[in-house]
Amino acid sequence: MMTLRSQPPWSDSPIDELAAFSDSPAPSVTRVLYTDKDVLGRRYVKTQMELAGLSVREDAVGNIFGRWDGVEPELAAVATGSHIDAIPYSGKYDGVIGVLGAIEAIRVPKRSGFKPRRSLEVILFTSEEPTRFGIGSLGSRLLAGSEDLANSLKTTTDIQNISFLDAARSAGYSKNEDDLSSVFLKKGTYSSFVELHIEQGPILEDEGISIGIVTAIAAPASLTVEFEGNGGHAGAVLMPNRNDAGLAASELALAVERHVLDSGSIDTVGTVGILELHPGAINSIPSKSHLEIDTRDIDEERRNKVVEKIHQSAIKITKTRGVKLSDFHVINQDPPALSDEAIIKAVETATKELNLTSKLMISRAYHDSLFMARLSPMGMIFIPCYKGYSHKPEEFATIQDMSNGVKVLTLTLAKLSSH
Amino acid sequence: MMTLRSQPPWSDSPIDELAAFSDSPAPSVTRVLYTDKDVLGRRYVKTQMELAGLSVREDAVGNIFGRWDGVEPELAAVATGSHIDAIPYSGKYDGVIGVLGAIEAIRVPKRSGFKPRRSLEVILFTSEEPTRFGIGSLGSRLLAGSEDLANSLKTTTDIQNISFLDAARSAGYSKNEDDLSSVFLKKGTYSSFVELHIEQGPILEDEGISIGIVTAIAAPASLTVEFEGNGGHAGAVLMPNRNDAGLAASELALAVERHVLDSGSIDTVGTVGILELHPGAINSIPSKSHLEIDTRDIDEERRNKVVEKIHQSAIKITKTRGVKLSDFHVINQDPPALSDEAIIKAVETATKELNLTSKLMISRAYHDSLFMARLSPMGMIFIPCYKGYSHKPEEFATIQDMSNGVKVLTLTLAKLSSH
């Protein structure tokens, strides 16, 4: 076993440096796929990988791989990583500590003279957040070989009608190819995958525990819904003659909450994060509305039942309000993923060796690990974050907790790479 | 009395020409205050005024006046006019026929040799629509001497933080002045004011009647409301720990509808035309929401009761959902206006002389006439529009109906200017 000769010189300064590439003012971070700020963030990470002595490779959608060749480079590598894209007005830790922390987790033993048996790879995944093209974990889904996604991306556009491929090209990717199947990795490319992440929930902080060891990742589903009515003048059209697409949307938003609460399980969640009205004028009855709905559960069947109930409510609303359901689209409805027993064991052992408290737990947020689990055995390491806040500027993790997470990741990678 | 020597050569071609100045594709029109398209539209109208032989004057906020001096130019003039600004994705008739139709209504008798006793003025009012700065009938409110508005406009900004004064300057107005009281007109400037407009409701078309003679304009109130919650990650924050500002907004939107229906009168209407969520990401619980609410009635007290109930509901929602009511602001809460009996009579007589059917009716939409009524006796002439549609691209009036409206306006102006 490798011994840690030095404290990882972890500080939040690289995190602050990366957070500076943002389209919204600090402390918030907005770094959306393939924007200038995303490209600058990627360049920063590649530089950090190179400074750590890793050899850098990028694929057609901008997944970035930093490799440290092991003693037996022909063996399947051990991989770790996360994402750096950030939804509008979010924080600087989500994803980022799984990328910068992974570089740190390799840099320290590398400097200390350790040489792994298996090669180690740090991965920066493209677009874990669904902000721009509506698809979460785009990079890891493609790595895991999603033919459907590779095909649909040929015609996917963002809200400003910029195609995925044009956006990728503007960021320097997918130069001469429309076929994204080059991104797919073979099963067996990695012997294991581990992701370090903030918990994005309050449990570890509340219970004063240093490390969360993830046993399963909850199953997310995403929907888009559109209603259409006749619109009209807010003064002139009397109430009985209206079919207000905005009120239809409000009703559906409240129905989502009701169906989620009716599931009877604390593990069911549902959110209407986007609700847009057209034309969006104070004196105009909304003629169109657009909703984007996220619902998750650790129980796939129970979550699918919520999706079905949302659909039924949308149909019912069309009848009571005389609106048209012009779109009801399930963007994704993924199965949950279970962590690998051997990886759970490796993380547990690492935690004990470092005299840190730990707890087995469920990840309610999804991560690239959910899709990497299709390619290789998977595990995740959580650290506490302030009040469980995430996806907002108040997101925060202490230097001590980040340092603990990096140490546990370092030891875990050492263990996994030695087998 | 003047006789109409020729059919007004009304066609929809000037309407189509003006509609071409739009920030959205035809048949929709988007022409927002002080944008390039608004400036082009204003230039078009000024040219039309000049071609009709009117002398053109503009005030500090861009109200445009085209004057035809009468035989006794020292007398108070008779005024007519409307607006050309258009909310996003609306139609090409709202306001426009009251401007271009008024020019036509003067051009025809002028060409035929008629000379009015009182001077006639065509007015293009600035920003009847509240789109950009949240204030409807901005131009006519100022003409009517609103000190409050003149003061508040010094610090008013649009959603992109552009100040009203900077916007006005970019359009060539308010060049060297911050004080907008120069816009105020004295009571008695006009002996009467008449506005030609599409009905924006279905009654005239349904009943096959050519001309609506407005007896009163319903009283509008506009509110902005903002809720604030904690936001957070859509997967990680469990339902009992949420205070979702988006669901608070949806509840309030449905409460607006309920309070309006509870008024017991068909004349009460209420609309949530704007509902915005922050940060607006599918996997983020809304931390802020912003609503803009419009409610109107021909009974001021009944409408004020609806406003009060909306306020009560907003407060109740803060308690049940644990959100903060960070803003509840009544933008305006205007009294209704009654048409002048002599003007109603003049329009009725004109209609009879032209062998057109007519009907006394209420204007449920507000118009610049609501504020011109503070300056002078006021009246309005309505023509039918397709299915009562307004504020959307399907807005339409037939050439016959527009021609009828212009003829009635021509005769009415002749009558009013002769006394």
The DSSP code sequence of B343-408 is: HHHHHHHHHHHTT--EEEEEE-S--HHHHHTTTS-EEEEEE--GGG--SSTT----HHHHHHHHHH
Question: Does residue A302 register a pLDDT over 80?
Answer: yes
Q: What average pLDDT score do residues B212-225 get?
A: 93
pLDDT band, very low/low/confident/very high, at B6 (cuts 50, 70, 90): very low
Q: Which of B245, B243, B205 is nearest to B225 (CA)?
A: B245
Cβ separation B282–A269 shorter than 8 A: no
Which of B158, B224, B233 is the best residue to mutate to test the A interface, defined by the most A CB atoms within 10 Å of its own CB?
Answer: B233
Predicted confidence band of residue A203 (pLDDT cuts 50, 70, 90): very high
Q: Give the residue-averaged pLDDT of B326-345.
A: 94
Higher pLDDT, A252 or B114: A252
Q: Does B134 touch chain A (CB under 8 A)?
A: yes
Q: What is the pLDDT of residue A11?
A: 46
Q: What is the mean pLDDT of residues A91-96?
A: 96
Residues from chain A contacting residue B279 (CB–CB below 8 Å) = 87-90, 391-392
Interface test with B, best of A129, A252, A271, A390 (most B CBs within 10 A): A271
Matching fold, domains A13-218+336-418 and A219-333: no
Q: Per residue in A316-360, pLDDT tens? A: 999 999 999 999 999 989 899 999 999 999 999 999 999 999 999
Q: Which amino acid type is present at position B233?
A: H
Residues near B195 by Cβ (< 8 Å), separated by ≥ 6?
B80, B81, B82, B98, B367, B368, B369, B372, B378, B379, B380, B381
Interface residue B240 vs chain A (CB under 8 A): yes
CATH architecture of B219-333: 2-Layer Sandwich (3.30)
Facing residue for A236 by CB, picked from B257, B284, B390: B390
The interface predicted TM-score (ipTM) is 0.77
CA angle, residues A402, A403, A409, in degrees to nearest 5: 90
* Domain range A13-218+336-418, CATH architecture: 3-Layer(aba) Sandwich (3.40)
| Inter-chain touch B88–A281, beta carbons under 8 Å | yes
pLDDT at B188 over 50: yes
- Domain ranges, ordered by start, for chain B: 13-218+337-418, 219-333
Contact B378, B73 (CB under 8 A): no
Cβ-based contacts under 8 A for chains A and B: 255
pLDDT in tens, A370-414: 999 999 999 999 999 999 999 889 999 999 999 999 999 999 999
Higher pLDDT, A11 or A212: A212
Interface membership of B359 toward A (CB under 8 Å): no
pLDDT band at A4 (very low <50, low <70, confident <90, very high): very low
Q: Which among A124, A116, A112, A118 has a CA at the least distance from the CA of A46?
A: A124
B225, closest residue in chain A (CA to CA): A282
Mean pLDDT (whole number) for A94-105: 97
The domain defined by B13-218+337-418 carries CATH number 3.40.630.10: yes
